[in-house]
Amino acid sequence: MIRIYNTLSRKKEEFIPLEEGKVRMYVCGPTVYNFIHIGNARPMIVFDTVRRYMEHKGYQVNFVSNFTDVDDKIIKKALEEGVSAEEISKRYIEECKKDMEGMNIMPATTHPLATQEIDGMIAMISDLIEKGYAYAINGTVYYRTRRFAEYGKLSHKNLDDLQGGNRSLLVSGEDEKEDALDFVLWKPKKDGEPYWVSPWGEGRPGWHIECSVMSKKYLGEQIDIHGGGEDLVFPHHENEIAQSEACSGCVFSKYWMHNAFLNIDNKKMSKSLGNFFTVREISEKYDLQILRFFMLNAHYRSPLNFSADLMESSKNALERILTAVDNLKYLSEHAKVIKLTEEEAQKAEEAKKYEQEFDMAMDDDFNTADAIAAVFELVKFANTYAKEGSSKAFAELLQEKIEGLCKILGIVTEKKAELLDEEIEQLIAERQAARKAKNFARADEIRGLLSEKGILLEDTREGVKWKRA
């Protein structure tokens, strides 16, 4: 039985799907105006792992995660570069997918783009106006927050408290609104911005309506799990509930899951503090499998502190698992005995308890930290009992058990084949030639390839220096 901590009820609840054997899951994806940062990576890794575990338990998971490809930040970046907003979003969706692949994140069942769902947004806004939950003024459409009786049920905020001088919590308020708490569903176009034609004039949707529409289209009016970072609880997810439930008249999502923040050296990540890291920057120093392993070493609802020391210890810990798997491969390849001995059969039975411990940890609100502890117990068991002279069947059985648990966590257990020094030098020379020819895509590709193989490059005045990670 899986138990999930539901932000809505603030307690752990038994997971009962809307439809037996199926899970409908929506996770808010990134706004694509730059490379994703390691704060974006946490929900990606967390909810990919939740999905993998649900599939391990036999559920068929319909997993939807969007790309927000129309937004003020995208428009700002496009204006800075003198290109279209579409060019910016397309570029960074591709870069995001590369980083996701590096972190071994499975592609979603559907990755909808906000710009391709505008018709659905216009239809939902029209429906809200018709039902009296929204109103249009001078080309802007607002949602009547007070009209939705349960507003605040997810964030546990009281409307009167929000009104009472706590302005920082309010969505920006213009004088034309009926109430300072009302939020935007549609806004009129500004010069140089992308826009769409609507019954209220040319403009574009507000951020909150996008997810309500994409979730409804690809998963239906009711879903099992809605996930995201805890920074989205208010106002984004609160507003999604207000929009979706006002339209459908039924509960939008049964379970709400939120991962906690990521800090850098015990400080909040911010560009102004200079402690802002993209996943791409991390990939130049570490294999992204180490980043994934590091993130899963904490419970998803616990704040996570990122530091070079913690990444190093994650690297060493992961290495212990990979070495154990390598050792078991070697033993099975060189084994003189094929079948399990009687004593080994007993030990194989004993090893099952680690799989049970793993499942117990994951059943308890996806406690990946305790699940990893069970993997290490199994590794220790394998290192103790699988030796020279062990049967091929015993070594293979233990290898399969370790690899099976790691696969659920999205951890790849194969060590990457090392490049020879001359192969590295050859690739660096090819990269230099590509840069000279202004073929920066190929130059980046080579750097990425070397990074994947654990080769770190440093461009210096004396030329390119490299070292093995």
**CATH of region 19-259:** 3.40.50.620
- Torsion angle of the four alpha carbons 428, 434, 439, 445, in this order, in degrees rounded to the nearest 10: -20
pLDDT above 70: percentage of residues in the chain: 97
Q: How confident is the model at residue 267 (pLDDT cuts 50, 70, 90)?
A: confident
> How confident is the model at residue 341, as a pLDDT?
94
Token output for 197:
């034609």
**CATH of region 279-409:** 1.10.730.10
pTM of the model as a whole: 0.89
Q: What is the pLDDT of residues 127-151, one digit of tens each?
A: 999 999 999 999 999 999 999 999 9
Q: What is the pLDDT of residues 382-412, one digit of tens each?
A: 999 999 999 999 999 999 999 999 999 999 9
Q: What is the pLDDT of residues 7-37, one digit of tens each?
A: 999 999 999 999 999 999 999 999 999 999 9
Q: How many CB atoms lie within 10 A of CB 405?
A: 25
The angle at the Cα of 176, spanning 171 to 181, to the nearest 5 degrees, equals: 30
What distances in angstroms separate CA 122 from CA 72, 171, 240, 431, one per listed residue? 19, 21, 15, 48
The DSSP code for 258 is: E
Token output for 71:
């937004």
Q: Where are the beta strands (DSSP E) in 7-81?
A: 11-14, 22-27, 60-65
Q: How confident is the model at residue 166 (pLDDT cuts 50, 70, 90)?
A: very low
Alpha helix (H) residue ranges in 115-190: 118-130, 159-163
The residue extents of the domains of the chain are: 19-259, 279-409, 421-468
The angle at the Cα of 67, spanning 117 to 447, to the nearest 5 degrees, equals: 145
